[in-house]
Structure 1
Amino acid sequence: MLPIAVSVAEVERRNIDGPAGMTWIAIRMLTGDRQKFYGLLFGIAFSTLLITQQLTIFVNLIERGASGAYNVATADIWVMDPVSRTTDVNFPLPATALDKVRGVPGVSWAVPHLRAGASVRTADGDLEGVTVIGVDDATLIGLPKSMVEGDFAALDNPDAVLIDDVGATRMFPPEISPIGQRLELNDRRAIISGIVDAIPSFTSQVVLYTRYSRALGYVPGTRNRMSFVLVKAVDGVPPEALTQRITQATGLRARTRDEFARDGVDFIIENTGIPLNFGITVALGFIVGVAIVGLTFSLFIRDNIKQFGALKAIGVTNAKIRRMVAAQAGLVGLIGYGLGVLGTIAFIQGFSANPTFKGFYIPWQVPLISLVAVAIILALTGWLALRSVLKTEPAAVFR
């Protein structure tokens, strides 16, 4: 904390009318009280870290609802029963639906796609819930883009299945290679012949890929078995227009890949408590920031009320006092905000090797939201702390 005489001398030396000089004095007053300065930095940094980190996890988590659609990069359109909502919440189609879709003008190709839940027994006797995905026998359309280990041609082998990379880490310990491991699916043998690089699902459930005809044997069920029809539009035909054409011609629900991916995200938002839970956490981060910064800022202003009174006594107006407090808040905000964002980046990088956080990133909108929150915290707490300064009479400092 600077003595009054020093503050006045510095003001006179640096030109009281100059904005740079007043800003320098404001920063000296702030950094002179190190305990409160560090307390303000901690409050802003912690609030920024909590808001940014929780929003980042929330966005990445709900985007997992679109993983089923984006793992199939070659299909422009997904066709399904009118009651189906997502890749995991679907109603089977009759086999005749495939020929109906293929007969719609503008369809380049259409292939069957099966998605069903099953329980698998490992060689050790453990039971694991899995999602079985059946891809087109001839073209293998429906598989992710790339492999982590092995080759897509391995599906030509008898009883061959491919496992997703995150599921492989869940089902097998690091010292055991999944390749060649035998599983039991509905009293039928399945041999893991490769590991695919896939976007994890919302539930992070193990996913097994195999040929459509083989998948029908792994997950027997009702007469209608086909979950979706994957469609590619003819060059020059917009997928949006083709979806309307398919719906009108077949009575089925057709969605572009992006629309269907958005359906998966909306389903999570509408049917889970995740938005509310993360919203409460973000709100708590904001409230904690207001409480810590507001209390510390108020104590700082109260301890420096004589300095502000001395400045007013030598001619510093309330407008300049406001600019000084704004400069102090701006310095604390920029440093604290930077520390909070860096902490979030360190968190994401630190857990990037964990399969649970595979593909996590920080959307550019999240730091902007955190910046707005920090600005509101500083504006609110600064305004509350500034009221006592503006009411201070210059003569009070000489009593």
Structure 2
Amino acid sequence: MIWIAIRMLTGDAQKFYGLVFGIAFSTLLITQQLTIFVNLIERGASGVYNESSADVWVMDTVSRTTEVNFPMPSTALDKVRAVPGVEWAVPHLRAAASVRTATGDLEGVSVVGVDDATLIGLPRAMVEGSTDVLSQPDSVIIDDVGVTNMFEDGQDPIGQRLELNDQRAVIRAIGDAIPSFTSQVTLYTKYSQALRYVPGTRNRLTFVLVGATDGVSAQQLTDRIEADTGLRARTRDEFAQDGIDFIIQNTGIPLNFGITVALGFVVGVAIVGLTFSLFIRDNIKQFGALKAIGVTNGKIRRMVGAQAALVGLIGYGLGILGTVMFIHAFSGVPTFKGFYIPWQVPLVSLMAVTVILALTGWLALRNVLKTEPASVFR
């Protein structure tokens, strides 16, 4: 009977393709929008992800993310180093600045100052050049997305001179970094050099990056630092989550993407429901004939379930494939750099497709179950 149900479905090519298109479109829209949403909000933690050495981030009590921060006095570094369980602690500066390029254009940038001795705080990999260039005077490293934003027509940024808050800066390397939420240009330099580039205030230290000694967990160390110094300490994972939560709580992104995903679900229900109902109506006599020869309602349900499963399997596969092709096609665009499809997203799409098929299949099945066998002979 399952084979008969499949032949009935594929025999009406127009409605079969319409059902597959409805499921594929809904899957594509839901999966693509959820993928972009997840990757976009994760950009709020890019500053933490780009620095993989620190177990704990220490900051002022009012600081919330790598971008929303408040400077501390330089004495905070010594306080943190004195806490038991701290293997090493280095200064870390993050501040906004304005850059004037050689062509006279003005660009807002984020300046990141890393420890002079260890260079902890730099991106994990380099696209061009090495971290050794920071030993040269007035040297900065630009992130690869910043190259695209600041230099056009494939212009080589290496050796380019910038005017950074009335100070000379020379780009000598390109870092492979995860873009920030705003995709702002990021310049990396030594901490002592960054103090010259950033407008002077009484307190300049933004963060203290800390490594834990063996046998001391990051959570234990954060508790000790907060108790001994009165500063705010967060583990790497906690601080990354803080950046994500800040975007969710302070922007309209979740609502906007939620509306789009909901529309994808509604469109799927509308298209699939209408097409499935038309298919059932056009084949109501065939179902009536089957009931006339003794096919039970249970077998009818299994037949309709098999039809829905086939449509769902093909449409879902095409929708996921379309999302993968979309991400791959735009992987070279700086805005989509590092985008991936989390494994949870296809599962959410699968659940949505299952609900769509169950709902539309149930609505269409009611007419079949109400059909009297004798109606086929009228």
Instruction: Please classify the TM superposition score into its range, dividing by the shorter chain length.
Output: over 0.9
- Secondary structure of 2:162's partner? strand
Q: CA deviation at 1:252?
A: 0.3
CA distance in 1, matches of 2:82, 2:109: 34
For residue 96 of structure 2, what is the amino acid of its counterpart? G
For residue 180 of structure 1, what is the amino acid of its counterpart? G
In the alignment, what sits opposite 1:89? 68
CA distance in 2, matches of 1:311, 1:185: 81
Residues 7-26 of structure 1 mapped to structure 2, 5 A cutoff: 22-26=1-5
Q: CA deviation at 1:145?
A: 1.0
Q: Which residue, out of 225, 235, 248, partners 1:256?
A: 235
Unaligned runs of 5+ in 2: none
In the alignment, what sits opposite 1:117? 96
CA distance in 2, matches of 1:165, 1:146: 11
In the alignment, what sits opposite 2:176? 197
- Secondary structure of 1:199's partner? coil
In the alignment, what sits opposite 1:239? 218
Residues 339-354 of structure 1 mapped to structure 2, 5 A cutoff: 339-354=318-333
Which stretch of structure 1 is more off in the superposition, 215-224 or 292-301? 215-224
Residues 120-269 of structure 1 mapped to structure 2, 5 A cutoff: 120-269=99-248
For residue 87 of structure 1, what is the amino acid of its counterpart? T
Runs of at least 4 residues off by over 3 Å:
none
In the alignment, what sits opposite 1:304? 283
Q: Which residue, out of 383, 396, 399, partners 2:362?
A: 383
Unaligned runs of 5+ in 1: 1-21
Q: Which residue, out of 252, 261, 275, partners 1:282?
A: 261
Q: Which residue, out of 62, 73, 96, partners 2:41?
A: 62
| TM-score, normalisation: structure 1 | 0.94
State the structure with more CA Rg. 1
In the alignment, what sits opposite 1:12? none
CA distance in 1, matches of 2:154, 2:339: 26
1:204-234 C-alpha deviation (Å, 9 max, x unpaired) = 0000000111111111232001100000011
For residue 235 of structure 1, what is the amino acid of its counterpart? D
CA distance in 2, matches of 1:175, 1:169: 8
In the alignment, what sits opposite 2:82? 103
CA distance in 2, matches of 1:268, 1:175: 32
Identical pairs, percent: 80
Q: CA deviation at 1:250?
A: 0.2
- Secondary structure of 1:74's partner? coil
CA distance in 2, matches of 1:289, 1:362: 21
CA distance in 2, matches of 1:259, 1:250: 19
In the alignment, what sits opposite 1:335? 314
Q: CA deviation at 1:144?
A: 1.1
Q: How many residues of Structure 1 are paired with residues of Structure 2 in the alignment?
A: 378
CA distance in 2, matches of 1:28, 1:72: 58
CA distance in 2, matches of 1:193, 1:260: 30
For residue 165 of structure 1, what is the amino acid of its counterpart? D
Q: Which residue, out of 51, 60, 73, partners 1:72?
A: 51
CA distance in 2, matches of 1:132, 1:331: 55
- Secondary structure of 2:66's partner? coil
1:142-161 C-alpha deviation (Å, 9 max, x unpaired) = 11111110111101111100
| TM-score, normalisation: structure 2 | 0.99
For residue 65 of structure 2, what is the amino acid of its counterpart? T
